[in-house]
Structures are given as C-alpha cells and as structure tokens.
Structure 1
C-alpha cells in the first residue's frame, strides 16, 4: 500500500523527535486511516481513533498517489482537501529520504 511506501522512506534518526498525526479520508471508499509519525517510524491504522489528528486529508482513491509527494501544491493539483495544520506536510516531507535509485538489488 502507499502508506507502506511512504513509511520506508522515513529517515528514522532525522524523524526521531517528530510527532505528528494525519487522517486520510477516502470519500469514495468510505475508509479512514490515521498515520502517525513517532519515535522515527511512520505507522498507520484503519481502526477508529480517539482525538483529532493534526491534519486531515480528504480525497478519493484515484487521487491517493498524490500523497507520495506530500506538498501542499501537489495535493491541491490532485484535488485533495487539506484541513488542519498544513505545516504537518512540510514536517513530514522534511524527514523523507527517497533512498538510492541505483541500489543493486542483485549483484553478480
């Protein structure tokens, strides 16, 4: 899933002191997910959560790939409704490390 792909890009040591939560609401699928960044790891759950998230993103499944590059501009272009603390997106983007695209999966 997309949330797993984002989670593996988290730079753990860089994100260690960050604490944030994001609700992702999929209107066409009637689903809701809570993403949490804490202790250098991004986790998510579809279980009911208590309290409000720092940021809520409301979108459709078709626009979900826009979350792969979490900037206010890319989300607005995809038609994602952003409510809450928009700085959370910048904080999340700041701890993402895309990794090495030339990583040798198989070596001779």
Structure 2
C-alpha cells in the first residue's frame, strides 16, 4: 500500500485558489499570518524556490483531517456572511478534490471590505 503525504503549504495553496474563485474575494493575511508569511517567503527565496501563494490561510491537522482558517478581503457590495459561506463551500469542495485531504472545518474571517 502506498501512502501519500500532502504538506500544509500545498493544502493552503489550494485553499487560496478555491477562496479566490468566489467573486469579489481576495485572500489577504491577517496580522497573525503576516509574520509567518515573511519568514516562509524568505526561507524559500534563500533556497531559490518560487513560493505558491499561501498567505492568508492557516492549516492545522486534527489527526488526518485539515482544519483551515482563511482570511479574506471582500467587495463592499456583497453581504459578508453570504460571501464567507461561499468561500467555505469552495474550499471544502476543492481541497479534497485536488489533494485528497479531508477538510474538517473552514473558518473564514473577513479582514477587510473594499469599496
């Protein structure tokens, strides 16, 4: 039997893509994500790697399933709760499809509203 391991940054990159498929959404790191983002990007640039966008998404593991936190900026023309639900649906559908990782939950935080 072959076991496939998917890293947290790979899951985060897919989650960014899934969230940004929702109209009027841009994934944007909150304050907590900025610090880890700077460290990760610097480490990858030293190694000569081109990092996939993962800023604004945090992945924790609950056993073999992922718990995701996604920070987004939304259009001021949209209802925040409806957009957050659409982001949750998109992430919950695309992450398992592209990575095979089961998603336990997706917490969406609206960090900015753009007018």
**Same fold by TM (over 0.5)?**
no
TM normalised by structure 2 equals 0.29
Structure number with higher relative contact order (C-alpha < 8 Å, ≥ 6 residues apart): 2
